[in-house]
Structure 1
C-alpha cells in the first residue's frame, strides 16, 4: 500500500510540474507574465481540489460542484482584471461563457480588456482537477493528454508566435512520454512480481534493463524535439485565424455623405471642443480607399483592406512596420501629446482621431458603453463606435503628429506597394482627364502635383449660393468633368483626385475629417470646418497628405448658360417601364442629434433573456445528468472479473435509490435485497443478489458468459423496478442525480471480498 501511494505521489508531482510548464504559452495572448501567473495559481488550486476529492472518494458530480464553487467564490478576488466586489462575481460568471469567443475576436494583448484572465484561470483549474483525478484513478494516459490539452488551449487561443517553442515542446513531450514509460515499466514489474510471488528470478535486473531502455528512448525523443523545434516553421495555425472581422461596414453610410450636411445645415453648430491639438494637425474621421460607382468606402475585401477589431487600454493602434500597410508620414515631428475631444453636436458612429493616434480612452457618463462598442482599424486609421457617439461624450487620445516631408525628400522616394480596395465603374472622362493633365510626365510626385494644381484652379461651391449637386457618384463626377469648369466642394474634389491618381497607378485614398483652422478657431469645431483631402503612400514615409479643394472664396461669379441653336421641337415621349427600385447604400437620417434612442432597434427584454438562459441551463444540467449515468454504466460494464459483476449490482442499487429506496449501510447483498424487495416485489432482487454472490465467492474468476448473463439480468430488472410507478415518477427517477452522489470506488472491495471468501 505504501509503495502504491509513493508511486501515485511521484506521478502527481510530475503531472503538476508539467501542468505548470504548460501555462507558459499564455504569455503570448496577454503580452506579459500575468497569464502564466493566473494559470499557475489555477493549476495549484485544481490539484488541491483533485487531491481532496480523491481522498474523500467523491464522484464526478460532487467534484464538479466543488470546482464550480471555488471558481465563483475565489476568482473575483484573485483575478487581477476583475473588480474585487459583487460586480466582479457577475463579470466572472459572464466571462465563463464569453471569454472563449472574446479571446479570439479581441486584439492582442488581452490585458487591454477586463475579465480576460478567466481564460488561463478556467483552463488551469479544469486541467488541474482532471489530471489529478486521472492519476488517482490509475489513468495516466488521460492525465498526460490533459497536460497536452492545457498547452494546446494556450497556443490555439494565442497568436502565431510561441515563447521558447523548443524548450516548452521538448519538456512537455519528454515529461508526458516519461510518465507513460515509467508507469508501463512499473506496471510490468508489479505483474511479474505478483506471479512469481517472493522469488526474484531476475525481476529486478529486468526492471533495471527496461528502465535503462526507456530512459535512452526518452532522451533520444527529447533531443530530436529540441533540435527540430527551432527549425520548424514559425507560422502556426491558431483559432484566431479562422474568425472573420466582427464588424460589417455595409451597415454604415460612407462618412463622405456627411460633408454637404455639415458644411451647410450645421455650419454654425459646435460639433466638438478640442483641447491641446498640435499646431497644423487636422482631425481625421475616416480614410476611404475603394469606389463602386456610387460612393467611396473603406474596403473590407477578403485578405486585404480594413480589419476592425475591438480595442481597449493598451491595445496598439499603430500598425507594425512589417504589417504590409503604409503608415502615415513619419519623421522628426513633435513628440506624443494628449488631445481631448468633448463632443457636442457630433452624434455619428465615426470616431474623431488625430494622426497618429496611439490610444483612445473614453470618459464621461457613457464611457462604458463606448468602450464596449469601440472598434479600430489600423489599416485605415479609422475608429467606429457601434453605439454611436453622443453629446457630452469625452475621448482622450494619445497622439503623435508626424512631420511633413518636403518635395525634395519625396522626389527621392518611390511609391509604396500597398493593398487598397477596388475602384470600379469610374467614368472614362475622369481617366481621360487624368492622362491629359499629366501629359508626358512620368515622375509620380510631378504627376500628383499636376493633378493637384489643376483641381485647385477650379471653383468651390456647396450648393448654397451657386448650383452644385451633392454626392460623388459616377454620374456626378462625369458631369463635373464635362462642364465648362470644375465646380464642387471637398467631397467631389477629393474623390475625383483619388480616382485620377488610381487610374495612373498611384496608391491614393480619400480622408474625410475637420480642419479646425478653417473658421479661425482651432478649439471649437463646427460644421464649417469639415474637410476632405487625399493621401498617397510613399516608401519609408508612409501616407502623405495633399489638399486638392480650391479655396472657399474661389466661387464661380456667374453660371454660364448653354446656348442652344435651332432647337428641335419637343415630342412627348412614352413613359418608361416600371423598374424595381435600386438598392442604395445606407444614408444618415436626421442623425438623431438629440441623442435619443427611440428610433433604434430594441433588443430582447431582460426577462426574456433571463428566461431563455434559465431554460438553457436547465436543459444542459439534465443532459449532463443523463450523460453521467450513461458513462457510469458503460464504465461498470467494461470492468474485469468480479468487479464487473459487482457493477451490475451497483447499477440496480442506484436505480432503487433514484426511485426513492435507499439501502442502509453495513448490510450484505442478500440483506439489502430483502429490504429492497418490499418496494420492488416484481423485480426478484433476492435471486439476483444470490447470483451475484455466487460469482463473487466462487473459486477462480467468473467466465465472460456468466458475466454477460448477470448484466442481461440487470438490464431486465431495472425497467421492472419502475414498472408499477407512474410515468412522471419514472421520468423523475431517470433525471434524479441522487445516485451520482454515492461515494466513488465502492466496487473496489470486490477483489478483496473474493479473496477473503476463498
Structure 2
C-alpha cells in the first residue's frame, strides 16, 4: 500500500525538522553555533539530494555516488575552515576518514583546528539523504533511528557536560514517537478502509481520535520531561573518555638533560630572540613533578598527571586547577612588587640556535600561534599540557621558527600572604628510589619547624649556601640520578648546578609533604640582555603549590660566582707546605773488598746466582697470557661499543639496543631467538626488573620506525639512557658476578648485531 503524496510530504517536512533539531548537540564540540549551522547546511543538501534521487528513481549505489560528488565538490566552498580550490578538495577527502578520530583526540573546542566542520557537515548530509530516501520508500521506522543517530554523533563526539541535553533528547524522542504514531494510525486507517471497500464509515473519525490520543500522550510525556529536565544530571560518558593521551612522553628524554650542554657548550650561542617579555619574567621550558631514581620527568599517569593534547589557535591553555603560576620577584617568594595585579602581554620568540622539541613559554600562556616557513608543520605537531604548563612540538623546533604567545602575568604574593595560605592539594607524579640521605638531610635542615613556608625557606637557604659548578672550572658530575644526588649530599659541601640543586630541593620538599615540582627554563636577564637568550641563561627552579595563588617559584641554586675556590686551592693549587730538610752529613765511602780480575774468572759455579726455575717462568707466562686475553676481551668490547656509537642514523639507535642485549648476555640473561625488541625486552625484564627495558625498547622503536633519520640529539639521548641502564642491570648482582660479566666472552662469540642483510631488513619491518 502506497502512501499518498500529501502524507509523504508531511512526513518529509516533519523528518527535516527533526534532523535540524538533531544538529543542536554539535554546539558543544565546537563551542559555538558554527557546528549547528554547518550541520543544518548538510541536512538541507541531504534532503535535496534525497528528494531529487527519489524523484528520478535512482537506486542506492547511484544515490551514494551523487552524495559523494556533492560532498567533495561543494564542501570546500561551503565549510568555513577549509581552503577553496584543489587543496580544499584534498583536505575534505582526507578529513572524511580522519575527522572521526581527530575529533576525539583533539581538545575542545574543535574550532581551533582546520577541517573539523566536516564532522557535522558529513553527519547532516548522510542522515538527510538516508532519512528522505527511507520516507520515499514508506519505511518510517528506520527514519526515527536515523534522526536519533544524528543527535547521538553530536553527543558522543562532544564533551561530558552538555547544556540542555535532556531537553533536546526529549524533543527528538517525542518527535520520533509522534512520527511513528501518526504513521501507524494512518496506516491502520488505510488498511481498514481498504478492507471495507469504503472511503469512510467512521474510519476517518476513528483515525482522528487515535491520532488525538497519541498526540495527548506525547504532549504529556514531553511536558513531564521538560519539567524534570533541569533536575537531570548533565554529565555523561562520551567516546572521548575512552581514548588515551595522544602523546607518549617516554619517547623523549627529560628536558633537564639539556642543562649541562646548554650552560657549557652553548653558553655563548644565541638560542632565541625574545620581544615583549615583561621585566623580570622567565622563559619556561618544562615543569617536572615525578622522579624514578634516574631522572625527573613530567608525570603521565591517569590519576591527574600530564595529558598532552594537540592544540590549535583558540584552544584554551590554562589549567583548571590553577589559573596563574606565580613568578618570583627575587630569590624567594614575594618581593617588592607583591600584590601587583595580573596583566596580559604578547611575547614573540624568534628561534635561532634552539632546535629542541620543548616549546618556550612565559608564565600563564593563553595561546600559541606559530608563524614562519614551518608554521603549518608546527601547528600540526604542537601539543600542550595544562597541568604542567608545558608545550612540545613532535616535529621539533628549528632556526627561523616564530612563536607568538599571549600570556598573563600574575601577581607576586608576599611572604606574609603565603603564611596565611595552606598548601594546595594537588595530585603530582610519583617520587621513587630517593636516596635515604636526601630525606635525612631534609629533616635535619627543618628541624622542629612545622610551618610550610619556613620549612621551604630553611631548605632554600641551605642549598643557596652551597657551591656552583658546571664541571668546567671544578669537578662536578652531570645528571641528577639517585647516585649523583647521594654523592652530592655525602660530600663535605654541596657542589652542583641548576640541574642537581633544583631536583634535590624538589625531593626534599616532597619528603616533607610539600607539593613541589622542578621547572626548567631561561632567565634572559642573567647577562643583562633580556632580548637575546643564550645557553648562559639556562636555569632551573622549584615551584610549590599554595591555595588561591597557585604555583609559587623559589630559586635554590647558588650564585654562579660562588664557586668552590677554596676546595680547589686546598686540593690542587696549594698543596701541604714541604719543610726543607738540611743535607745529611757527608760520610766516608764504605770500604769494599778488593776486586781482582782473576777472582771473576776462577770463581766456581756455586758462587753464581741460581737460575730462575722453569716452572716459575711458565706460570708467569701463563698468567700474563691470561691477563692479555682478558684485557683484549675488555678492549674488544670497548671498541665494539665505540663503533656502534659512531654509526649513523637508525644503525646508531640499533647499536644502543645491541649493546644492552650484549650486556644482558654477559650477565646471564638472554631472550629466545625470533622475538621482537619489545618481546625481548619483556623477557629480559624478568632477569633485570629494575632496568625498565620495555620503555627503552619502545624508545628504540620510535627512532627506527619514525619518518626520516633520527636527530643527533635523540641518538645521544638513546645512548645516554643505555649508559644509565647498564649499571642498573648489574646493580642486583654480587660484585664477583659483575666482574665475571666484564670478562665474559659470551657477547663476543655471538654479538647481538651480527645478522645478514635479509635478516636486518626483516627485523626492521617486524621490530625485532
TM-score normalised by structure 2 residue count: 0.73
Q: In 2, distance between residues paired with 1:230 and 1:163?
A: 10
Equivalenced residues, count? 585
Distance (Å, rounded) in 1 between the aligned partners of 2:486 and 2:324: 32
Alignment partner of 1:556 out of 553, 564, 572: 564
Q: Does 1:534 align with 2:533?
A: no
Give 2:410's aligned residue.
402
Which of 321, 328, 337 does residue 325 from structure 2 map onto? 328
Q: Deviations over 1:328-381 (max 9, x none)?
A: 139643521111111111110000000011111111111111110000000000
Q: How does 1:475-486 map to 2 (within 5 A)?
A: 475-486=483-494
1:513 to 2:521 alignment: yes
Distance 1:64 1:3, change over 3 A: closer
RMSD: 2.6
Aligned to 2:444: 436
Corresponding position of 1:39: 39
Cα drift, residue 325 of structure 1: 5.5
User: Do the aligned partners of 1:27 and 1:163 also contact (CA within 8 Å) in 2?
Assistant: no
- Tell me, yes or no, if the aligned pair for 2:161 and 2:236 is still in contact at 8 Å: yes
Q: Residue 454 of structure 1 is aligned with which of 437, 462, 473?
A: 462
Q: 8 Å contact 1:253–1:586 — kept in the other structure?
A: no
Provide the C-alpha distance between the structure 2 equivalents of 1:99 and 1:189, rounded to a whole number of angstroms: 46
Matched with 1:364 is 372
Hey, what's the Cα distance between the residues in 2 that align with 1:427 and 1:291?
Answer: 12
Residues 107, 310 of structure 1: 8 Å contact kept: yes
Shift of 1:226: 1.8
- Aligned counterpart in structure 1 of residue 352 of structure 2, from 329, 344, 353: 344
Q: Give me the whole-angstrom Cα distance separating, in 2, the residues matched to 1:332 and 1:586.
A: 47
Contact 2:26–2:154 (CA under 8 A) maintained in structure 1: yes
User: SS at the partner of 1:142?
Assistant: helix
In structure 1, the residue matched to 2:57 is 57
Q: 1:544 aligns with which of 552, 559, 575?
A: 552
Asked whether 1:168 is paired with 2:176, we answer no
- Are 2:326 and 2:363, in contact at CA under 8 Å, matched by a contact in 1? no
Could you tell me which runs of 5 or more consecutive residues in structure 2 were left unpaired when the two chains were aligned: 328-338, 576-626, 635-662, 670-687, 713-768
**Aligned-pair CA distance for 1:188:** 0.5
Measure how far apart 1:36 and its partner are.
Answer: 0.4
Which residue of 2 is the match for residue 706 of structure 1?
A: none
Q: Distance in 1 between matches of 2:213 and 2:431?
A: 67
Deviations 1:381-439 (A, max 9, x none): 00000011111111111111212111011011000000000000001110011001111
Matches within 5 A, 1:267-282: 267-282=267-282
Task: Report what 1:178 is aligned to.
Answer: 178
C-alpha deviation, 1:34, in angstroms: 0.6
Indicate which of 494, 506, 528 corresponds to 1:498.
506
Deviation at 1:85, TM superposition (A): 1.6
- SS at the partner of 1:400? strand
Q: Map 1:116-515; keep pairs closer than 5 Å.
A: 116-198=116-198, 200-320=200-320, 324=321, 327-329=324-326, 332-515=340-523
What is the alpha-carbon distance in structure 2 between the residues aligned to residue 317 and residue 419 of structure 1? Answer: 19
In structure 2, what is the Cα distance between the partners aligned to 1:161 and 1:599? 42
Q: Is the 8 A contact 2:340 2:412 kept in 1?
A: no
Q: Distance in 2 between matches of 1:9 and 1:419?
A: 59
Structure 1 unaligned spans of 5+: 564-572, 602-758
CA distance in 1: counterparts of 2:462 and 2:515, whole angstroms: 19
State the partner residue of 1:604. Answer: none
Match of 2:735 in 1: none
**How far apart, in 2, do the equivalents of 1:537 and 1:45 lie?**
54
Structure-1 separation of matches of 2:303 and 2:473: 45
Q: 1:523 offset after TM fit, Å?
A: 1.1
1:165–1:230 contact (8 Å) kept in structure 2: no
Structural mapping, 1:50-89, within 5 Å: 50-89=50-89
Give secondary structure in 1 for the equivalent of 2:526: coil
CA contact (8 A) 1:326 1:416 kept: no
Partner Cα distance (1:2, 1:424) in 2: 74
Moved more, 335-344 or 15-24: 335-344
* Displacement after TM superposition at 1:201 (Å): 3.5
Q: How far, CA to CA, are the matches of 1:89 and 1:526 in structure 2?
A: 45
Residue 103 of structure 2 is aligned to residue 103 of structure 1: yes
Look up the SS of the partner of 2:326 in the other structure: coil
1:201-260 Cα distance to aligned partner (Å, 9 max, x none): 432332232122212221222123223332222210111111100100000000000000
State the shift of 1:3 in Å. 7.3
2:4 aligned counterpart, secondary structure: helix
The equivalences for 1:589-608 within 5 A come to: 598-599=709-710
How far apart, CA to CA, are the structure 2 residues paired with 1:304 and 1:198? 72
Please list the CA deviations of residues 596-634 of structure 1 after superposition, one character each: whole Å capped at 9, or x if unmatched. Answer: 965459xxxxxxxxxxxxxxxxxxxxxxxxxxxxxxxxx
Partner residue in 2 for 1:712: none
